[in-house]
């Protein structure tokens, strides 16, 4: 029997509507709108596409949206001064610097320059530490989106064996921490696997909940999945498409999971595209809303 499709588009749409209603109610009462800013350096096409999507979603939700577009040869001093200005701007509740940055700029220096109270990407070491300690703080948007899909879909995590493929600071590590925390969407037994792990297939077959974030197209095959497991595919990979869907662009998007085959084994699965991707932007808005409500007494 085919797996239940976990519809990230529909879930994200519902969350964005909830956020817009909350914003409308408070701005109608005279509170200024939430402020979200994005800094983008250079002209990477994928980054520009992401930024356009974020701005469109923020505007639709009633946010004050600002984009700082800087040329690819922007100096370290110019970028840091832009960040300092956003740290000091009372109309901005949260912001991010779109990654990747040009090679001459230090990503870690930039992340650590961001005010942790405005770090809606959740990448600042202070927010990472808060997450590790189980304290309130900003949760990285993609892991938070994955957890929200599990919560809203009614997928039980308590007592389940969860396997996270990937150990990046952006997805794998925070995802594992969320699943292992006390509370809703947590209390799982978590196993983190990566490129140096032994027998990845056997590890995946132990998973009641399998989260793949390794960036390898169609890596997870049907024989690696426990029948009835819940599969969350974080991967977004471009593969050649000389014909069929995406052929006009020369590529198509696929996840880390062989969707057609795995969907015949899993109990539930996210598609790519249309699964985790829309949730990432929804959680960026949610993080910004949280920051705004703290700053304005909501």
Measured distance CA(291)–CA(93) in Å, rounded: 6
**If residue 101 lies in a helix (H) or strand (E), which one and from where to where?**
none
- The catalytic residue among 93, 118, 119, 121 is 121
Q: Which of 54, 119, 256, 258 is catalytic?
A: 54
- Residue 262 tokens, joined: 């795995």
Q: Does residue 54 carry a catalytic annotation?
A: yes
CA distance readout (Å), 51 to 48, 168, 239: 5, 22, 22
Contacts of 101 (CB under 8 A, 6+ apart): 41, 42, 107, 110
The single residue of 93, 98, 286, 290 carrying the catalytic annotation is 98
Tokens linked to 224: 């690696």
Measured at the CA of 233, the angle between CA 230 and CA 239, to 5 degrees, comes to 145
Separation between Cα atoms, residue 203 and residue 43, nearest integer Å: 40
Distances from the Cα of 246 to the Cαs of 252, 253, 255, in angstroms? 5, 8, 15
112 is an active site residue? no
Question: What does DSSP assign to residue 118?
Answer: G
286 is catalytic: no
Q: Please report the DSSP string for 5-48 in residue order.
A: E--HHHHHHHHHHHHHHHHHHHHHTTPPPPEEEEEEES--HHHH
CA–CA separation, 146 and 222 (whole Å)? 21
Residue 211, beta-bridge partner list? 164, 232
What are the residue numbers of the active site? Answer: 54, 98, 121
């Amino acid at each position: 029997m085919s797996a239940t499709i976990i519809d990230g588009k529909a879930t994200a749409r519902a969350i964005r509507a909830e956020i817009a209603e909350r914003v409308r109610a408070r701005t109608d009462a005279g509170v200024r709108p939430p402020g979200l800013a994005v800094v983008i350096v250079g002209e990477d096409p994928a980054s520009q596409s992401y930024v356009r999507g974020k701005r469109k979603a923020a505007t639709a939700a009633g946010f004050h949206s600002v984009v700082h577009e800087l040329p690819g040869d922007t100096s370290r001093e110019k970028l840091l001064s832009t960040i300092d200005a956003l740290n000091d701007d009372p109309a901005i509740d949260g912001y991010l610097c779109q990654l990747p940055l040009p090679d001459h700029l230090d990503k870690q220096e930039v992340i650590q320059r961001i005010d942790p109270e405005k770090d809606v990407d959740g990448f600042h070491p202070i927010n990472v530490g808060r997450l590790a300690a189980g304290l309130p703080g900003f949760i990285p948007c993609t892991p938070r989106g994955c957890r929200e899909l599990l919560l809203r879909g009614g997928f039980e995590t308590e007592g389940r064996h969860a396997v996270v493929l990937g150990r990046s600071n952006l997805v794998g590590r925070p995802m594992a921490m969320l699943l292992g925390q006390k509370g809703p969407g947590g209390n799982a037994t978590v196993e983190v696997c990566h490129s140096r792990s032994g027998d990845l297939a056997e590890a995946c077959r132990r998973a009641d909940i399998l989260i793949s974030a390794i960036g390898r197209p169609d890596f997870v095959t049907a024989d690696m999945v426990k029948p009835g497991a819940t599969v969350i595919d974080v991967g977004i990979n471009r593969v050649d498409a000389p014909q069929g869907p995406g052929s006009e662009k020369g590529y198509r998007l696929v996840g880390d999971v062989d969707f057609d085959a795995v969907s015949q084994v899993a109990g539930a699965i996210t598609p790519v595209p249309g699964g985790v991707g829309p949730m990432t932007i929804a959680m960026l808005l949610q993080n910004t809303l949280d920051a705004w409500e703290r700053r304005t007494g909501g």
